[in-house]
Amino acid sequence: MDIQFYNRVTQAVEKEKVYGDKFVEWLYKTETGKALSTVVCKAPISQLYGALQNTPFSRNKIVPFIKNFNIPMDDYLPEEGRDTQSPYSSFNKFFIRRFKEGKRHFVQDKNEMPAFSEARYFGYTSVHDEEVIPVKGLYLKPKALLANKKWEETFHDGPLLLARLCPVDYHRFHYPDDGTIVEDYRIEGLLHSVNPLALKMKQDILMTNERHVTILETKNFGKLAYIEVGAVCVGKIVQSQPLTKGAAFKRGDEKGYFLFGGSTVIVIGEKGKWTPSQDILDYTKKGMETYIQLGMSVAQTN
């Protein structure tokens, strides 16, 4: 299955080169894989695999990975305390690499929401539980995503952005505006792949996978539900700072990162507060994601 996406940077439709595509096809297309998926996608298995990416031996994967996916390493810093001759002590340290100063810029117009992840985006002007929106087998229901009755009404029929991070992508995620933390909570679940093939074969993945939800009060976009979704082989969702109620953050501040694996960040807003960018909406209607670099505009206030 080819995965095509629109690249806003190159302004062209491109084909995604998928990491681990054979494993995903085995897991979701074969009878053996389907039978074992409930075991493979439980936390202990994924966490064990993720832990292996912390070992010194895992460094052997880095150079082939960079060459295979043409990763522009001039954009990235080495691990803290290391130099460019031996930049990373493990595959996970390479995986959570940081951008060099000036390589990415967060849009500063208060009416523009910057991309909180460097990722492939779907966008919707409104999503509610009475309406099921399939995109390549993707189903979204805010109540199930939030799993908290306290916030159901706040985000009912609100706009939604879904950012899918491939294993080849920058895996840190950021705050989209100035604001304060209202609440945060974790939802236990499975760790299925978030690859479009997996989403097509198992349609409720984003609503049943492990998730971390943070409710944000932002300066320009109202309340946001910021949801990090774990995936197969993701060792951990890490918050960079304690999520203390009332704590302030600034636009572009790092919120956290995913250890090894493909991952997803979902942001849901209040009805009528903002609208995803037009190119994201247009390509979403075609069933195609839009690749957007960190900090570029992904939505506008209404």
DSSP 3-state helix, strand, coil percentages of the chain (rounded to 5)?
25, 30, 45
134 pLDDT band, cuts 50/70/90, is low
How many independent structural domains does the chain possess?
A: 1
- Would you state the pLDDT for residue 138? 59
13 pLDDT band, cuts 50/70/90, is very high
Give mean pLDDT, residues 205-210: 52
Tokens for 283? 């390509």
Distance in angstroms (rounded) separating the CA atoms of residues 80 and 73: 15
- Would you state the pLDDT for residue 194? 43
Give mean pLDDT, residues 217-237: 83
1 pLDDT band, cuts 50/70/90, is low
Paired sense of beta strands 12-15 and 4-7, if any: antiparallel
What residues make up the domain containing 107?
Answer: 1-302
The count of other CB atoms within 10 Å of the CB of residue 75 is 14
CB 299 within 8 A of CB 113: yes
CA–centroid distance for 139 within its chain: 16
- Would you state the pLDDT for residue 19? 60
Mean pLDDT across the chain: 84
pLDDT, tens digit (0-9, with 9 covering 90-100), for 138-163: 567 788 889 899 999 999 999 999 99
pLDDT higher than 90, residue 185: yes
For the chain, give the percent of residues with pLDDT over 90: 62
pLDDT, tens digit (0-9, with 9 covering 90-100), for 35-59: 555 554 454 555 566 677 889 999 9
Tokens for 45? 């298995």
127 pLDDT band, cuts 50/70/90, is confident
Give mean pLDDT, residues 109-125: 97
CB 211 within 8 A of CB 192: no
pLDDT higher than 50, residue 207: no
pLDDT higher than 90, residue 254: yes
CB 166 within 8 A of CB 157: no
b/e per residue, 244-254, with b = 16+ CB within 10 A?
A: eeeeebebbee
167 pLDDT band, cuts 50/70/90, is confident
pLDDT higher than 70, residue 231: no
